[in-house]
């Protein structure tokens, strides 16, 4: 006789694998981006965005298996933006959900977690207060991140909401690397230290690299290069970040599309004495520098490569300055790590920039780094190894997927008690 009290094993297995729809939000000062995943299958069901929130001509878009729909309409604030997202998702013809109750959990990208959050966390009142406590450190990002969380709570009611922090992966950085050589009270009273960003991406590619190498995630030493409009690089020892190029803010470190990265702080005093005010220096360093500043024409590596190919010397110099800074950081992280198993490239430039990868790693063969031309050429947006057979250190291209990383953490945390 079959006992009804103990169901057959396959039913338990089925229940373990039960799919959950998880909605991921990335809320900026003027945009709300979202992706709907089926987990644990990791299939993308829908993705969309509201761009230009706060304007008469905001752009709302949704892409599902039915295709893409777009509309331009007045969306003055976050509540109106979330109302539009709801109606797009529930649309009978082009939507992705029959009811909001199909969504089991929401995951939120939160830029700054300060020193309190070393990993993704389930959101409660205390956590919301923690996000608010570091508003000052990320004034452009954390306030809209928290508004998005509150709107999502209103929209979905009592389901798990998970916060995933850009800074969390770098909380393992030791004090010797995160402290600036400034008077101590700037750290103790003003929390001025290196935090680092792009953590979800560095962690995602570090875990993937370990898997591709057939090693345990906590046994690999890596240098992960996230090169996009914003760029950063991290030294990863035994799977943990031990140094990274971005600091208190995302301005430090590498040369970026429009950000300067590292510079002599004396430049700021010099310019202030010449009459530049704080606001204009902020705009100059964040919006007018980097590739754009040096080339004078573009922040896009593709444009600059075309221009350099036609003899534009400023474009060629911008590309060289960009690559040289990355090479210097790779060298310093090799010194810090001692053993490096692989250098990993990700982000729009890292994944697709064939010529840029060659430029960065040129003449490093004496240090055990030798890129293979043909292998590099075929890895455009494709995962794989691009080192020559004689290279001691592996060179890997791994497309990043920060939203999927958030979906994985959300799935894991919303299932744990």
Q: Does 228 bind ligand ADP (CB under 6 A)?
A: yes
Among the residue ranges 80-88, 117-125, 180-188, 299-307, the one whose residues contact ligand ADP (CB under 6 A): 299-307
* Closest CA relative to residue 108, chosen from 69, 159, 59: 159
Q: Hey, what's the torsion of the CAs at 207, 35, 26, 107, to 10 degrees?
A: -70
Answer yes or no: 57 catalytic. Answer: no
- Binding to ligand ADP in span 256-285, by CB under 6 A: 257
How far apart are CB 189 and ligand ADP at their closest, in Å? 33
Q: Does 347 bind ligand ADP (CB under 6 A)?
A: yes
Q: Does 130 bind ligand ADP (CB under 6 A)?
A: no
How far apart are CB 384 and ligand ADP at their closest, in Å? 16
In what side-by-side order are the strands of the sheet with 20-27?
67-75, 55-64, 43-51, 31-39, 20-27, 103-110, 161-165, 121-122
Among 48, 144, 230, 239, binds ligand ADP (CB under 6 A): 230
| Integer angstrom CA distances of residue 203 from 92, 121, 222, 234 | 38, 16, 11, 10
| Integer angstrom CA distances of residue 173 from 118, 182, 195, 201, 354 | 11, 18, 9, 16, 31
Q: How far apart are CA 267 and CA 272, in angstroms?
A: 9
Coil, strand or helix at 38: strand
Q: How far apart are CA 106 and CA 157, in angstroms?
A: 11
Given the residues 166, 243, 312, 341, select the one marked as catalytic. Answer: 166
- Binding to ligand ADP in span 354-373, by CB under 6 A: 356
Q: Of 155 and 315, which has the nearer Cβ to ligand ADP?
A: 315
Q: Of 299 and 391, which has the nearer Cβ to ligand ADP?
A: 299
Q: Of 24 and 334, which has the nearer Cβ to ligand ADP?
A: 24
Q: Does 229 bind ligand ADP (CB under 6 A)?
A: yes
Question: Are 105 and 149 spatial neighbours (Cβ–Cβ below 8 Å)?
Answer: no
Is the backbone peptide bond immediately before 40 cis, with ω within 30 degrees of 0?
Answer: yes
- Binding to ligand ADP in span 19-58, by CB under 6 A: none
Question: Are 224 and 233 spatial neighbours (Cβ–Cβ below 8 Å)?
Answer: yes
Q: Does 293 bind ligand ADP (CB under 6 A)?
A: no
Q: How far apart are CA 158 and CA 150, in angstroms?
A: 12
Among the residue ranges 8-16, 345-353, 363-371, 390-398, the one whose residues contact ligand ADP (CB under 6 A): 345-353
Neighbours of 228 (CB within 10 A): 18
Q: Of 346 and 387, which has the nearer Cβ to ligand ADP?
A: 346
Among 128, 262, 300, 383, binds ligand ADP (CB under 6 A): 300
Among 130, 196, 348, 399, binds ligand ADP (CB under 6 A): 348
Coil, strand or helix at 79: helix
| Integer angstrom CA distances of residue 6 from 1, 13, 385 | 12, 13, 49
Q: Does 172 bind ligand ADP (CB under 6 A)?
A: no
Q: Of 107 and 228, which has the nearer Cβ to ligand ADP?
A: 228
Phi, psi of 113 (to 5 degrees): -115, 5
Among the residue ranges 1-9, 223-231, 265-273, 328-336, the one whose residues contact ligand ADP (CB under 6 A): 223-231
Among the residue ranges 40-48, 94-102, 206-214, 225-233, the one whose residues contact ligand ADP (CB under 6 A): 225-233
Residues with a catalytic annotation lie at 166
Contacting residues toward ligand ADP, per CB under 6 A: 228-230, 257, 300-302, 347-349, 352-353, 356
């Amino acid at each position: 006789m079959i006992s009804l009290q103990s169901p057959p094993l396959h039913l338990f297995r089925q229940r373990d694998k039960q799919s959950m729809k998880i909605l991921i939000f990335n809320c900026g000062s003027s945009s709300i981006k979202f992706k709907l995943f089926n987990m644990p299958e990791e299939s993308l069901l829908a993705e969309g965005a509201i761009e230009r929130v706060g304007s008469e001509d905001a752009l709302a878009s949704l892409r599902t298996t039915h295709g893409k729909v777009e509309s331009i309409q007045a969306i003055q604030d976050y509540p109106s933006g979330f109302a539009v997202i709801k109606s797009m998702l529930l649309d009978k013809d082009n939507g992705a959900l029959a009811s909001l109750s199909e969504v089991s959990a929401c995951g939120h990208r939160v830029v700054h977690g300060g020193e309190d959050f070393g990993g993704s966390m389930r959101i409660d009142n205390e956590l919301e207060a923690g996000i608010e406590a570091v508003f000052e450190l990320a004034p452009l990002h954390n306030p809209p991140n928290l508004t998005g969380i509150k709107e999502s709570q209103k929209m979905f009611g009592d389901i798990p909401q998970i916060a995933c922090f850009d800074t969390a992966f770098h909380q393992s950085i030791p004090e010797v690397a995160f402290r600036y050589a400034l008077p101590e009270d700037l750290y103790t009273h003003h929390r001025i230290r290196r935090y680092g960003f792009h953590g979800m991406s560095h962690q995602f590619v570090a875990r993937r690299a370990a898997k591709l190498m057939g090693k345990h995630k906590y046994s690999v030493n890596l240098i992960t290069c996230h090169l996009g409009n914003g760029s950063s690089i991290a030294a990863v020892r035994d799977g943990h970040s031990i140094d990274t190029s971005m600091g208190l803010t995302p301005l430090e470190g590498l040369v970026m599309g429009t950000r300067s990265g590292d510079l002599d702080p004396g430049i700021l005093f010099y310019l202030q004495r010449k009459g530049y005010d704080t606001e204009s220096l902020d705009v100059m360093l964040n919006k007018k520098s980097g590739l754009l500043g040096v080339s004078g024409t573009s922040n896009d590596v593709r444009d600059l490569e075309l221009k350099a190919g036609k003899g534009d010397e400023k474009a060629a110099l911008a590309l060289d300055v960009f690559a040289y800074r990355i090479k210097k950081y790779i060298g310093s992280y090799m010194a810090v790590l001692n053993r490096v198993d692989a250098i990993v490239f990700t982000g729009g430039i890292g994944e697709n920039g064939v010529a840029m990868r060659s430029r960065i790693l040129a003449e490093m063969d004496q240090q055990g780094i030798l890129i293979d031309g043909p292998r590099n050429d075929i890895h455009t947006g494709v995962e794989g190894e691009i080192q020559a057979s004689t290279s001691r250190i592996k060179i890997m291209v791994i497309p990043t997927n920060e939203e999927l990383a958030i979906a994985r953490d959300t799935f894991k945390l919303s299932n744990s008690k």
